Amino acid sequence: MNSFSPVELKQFVDWICTIQQIPAPTFHEGQRAAYIQSEFVHLGMLEVMQDDSGNVLARWPGGNAKPLVISAHLDTVHSDTAPLPLERTDVRLSGPGVADNSTSLAALLVLADKFATENIHYPGEIWLAANVCEEGLGNLAGMQALVGRFQGEVQSYLILEGLGLGQVCHRGLGVMRYRITAETAGGHSWVDYGTPSAIHELVKVMADLTELTPSHKPRSSLNIGIIQGGTSVNTIAPQAHFDLDLRAEDQNALSRLNDRVRRAVQTQEKPGVHFTLESIGNRPAGEIPAGHPLVKLAADILRSLDLPVTLEIGSTDANFPLSRGYPAICIGLTRGGFPHTLRETIEIEPLKLGLEQLRSFITRTWQPEG
């Protein structure tokens, strides 16, 4: 594969802008998926399909070696009813979802164009995948479907994110999420005063949880992200809930934290007060060692581009294949900031290095180590 030309870089930026303008909240990625699928067909990929989960896949034929799977998630954290402003200058792009993950989806199109234009033959097939449900409560459903399809019969899973150029994420941060609900009989704030309130009881649980000290080694964390409940200011609330996010660097630490949370909730049970814990998310932890050939290859490529290398842990689509023991890493394509906000920004100049990183990775991925 030849290096990328200024024309190809401009096309890359144009695709980023086009994709950013197509809303794709988690569970509603269809419009963006349709665009990516049509572009794959237009660019000349020889096999393009959409699986039952909504993932869009495109295959580039190769030899008999194990295939390389390159993926980028379709969804964003932004609503499909909110405006999607975009500011474009010669040095940067700014707008919701421009980095996470319009940049990586556009990179898939750049690769598809390159494969077809140069009619490149590699030792193994390359599958380009635009997958659903990476963000929020998507629970990595798209990546689960991909791994279900290919299992461990791959050269590697290469997951792309817009930001984080220079990082190699080879460790998956474990995440468990719960909706914890309190239910009571409720009543009138004056007439039935003294009757348990779901909100009051839930506050006690939250206070207990904030007193928990998550472990430092391995690191873990606990966050209450959403609180909802009640019917009016003068009603004893019959129902209230909050959403809880638990994270840890390994699965054992995550399980221990999970057990502590369950015990804290159970101790608040009493007559007239009932609690339920509903699982609303699970991203299993997993990793490959820093000395794994896949990690070493990614790091060597970054050094060859005079980029500093940072080995990272993160909650990405790589979690799922890593949790199954399959070779997977997540890499970034440029620099920027303010992810998951309306000010989300990428720098244009480093995109050249991001593409060269991809080119080198694909070219070298089937070469023997060393």
Q: In whole angstroms, how large is the CA radius of gyration of the chain? A: 23
Domains, the chain: 6-173+285-364 (3.40.630.10), 174-283 (3.30.70.360)
pLDDT by residue, tens only, the chain of 370 residues: 788 999 999 999 999 999 999 999 999 999 999 999 999 999 999 899 999 999 999 999 999 999 999 999 999 999 999 899 999 999 999 999 999 999 999 999 999 999 999 998 999 999 999 999 999 889 999 999 999 999 999 999 999 999 999 999 999 999 999 999 999 999 999 999 999 999 999 999 999 999 998 989 999 999 999 999 999 999 999 999 999 999 999 899 999 999 999 999 999 999 999 999 999 999 999 999 999 999 999 999 999 999 999 999 999 999 999 999 999 999 999 999 999 999 999 999 999 999 999 999 999 999 876 4
How many CA atoms lie within 13 Å of 152's alpha carbon, on the beta-carbon side?
6
Q: For helices 103-118 and 6-20, give the axis angle rounded to 10 degrees.
A: 140
Cα(54)–Cα(186) distance, integer angstroms = 42
Other Cβ atoms within 10 Å of 49 Cβ, number: 11
Other Cβ atoms within 10 Å of 45 Cβ, number: 24
Encoded amino acid at 232, one letter: S
Cα(128)–Cα(136) distance, integer angstroms = 23
Angle of CA points 370, 296, 119, to nearest 5°: 75
- Altogether, the residues listed in the chain come to a count of 370
Encoded amino acid at 338, one letter: F
pTM attached to this predicted model: 0.91
Cα(56)–Cα(229) distance, integer angstroms = 39
- Please enumerate in sequence order all residues whose Cβ is within 8 A of that of 178, keeping only pairs 6 or more positions apart, or say none: 243, 244, 246, 261, 277, 278, 279, 280
DSSP code, position 350: T
At 358, list the tokens. Answer: 């991809």
Cα(181)–Cα(228) distance, integer angstroms = 9
Cα(353)–Cα(349) distance, integer angstroms = 8
Q: Is the CB of residue 60 less than 8 Å from the CB of residue 128?
A: yes
Angle of CA points 87, 92, 95, to nearest 5°: 40
Closest CA to 278 of 182, 161, 169: 182
Q: For helices 293-304 and 351-364, give the axis angle rounded to 10 degrees.
A: 140
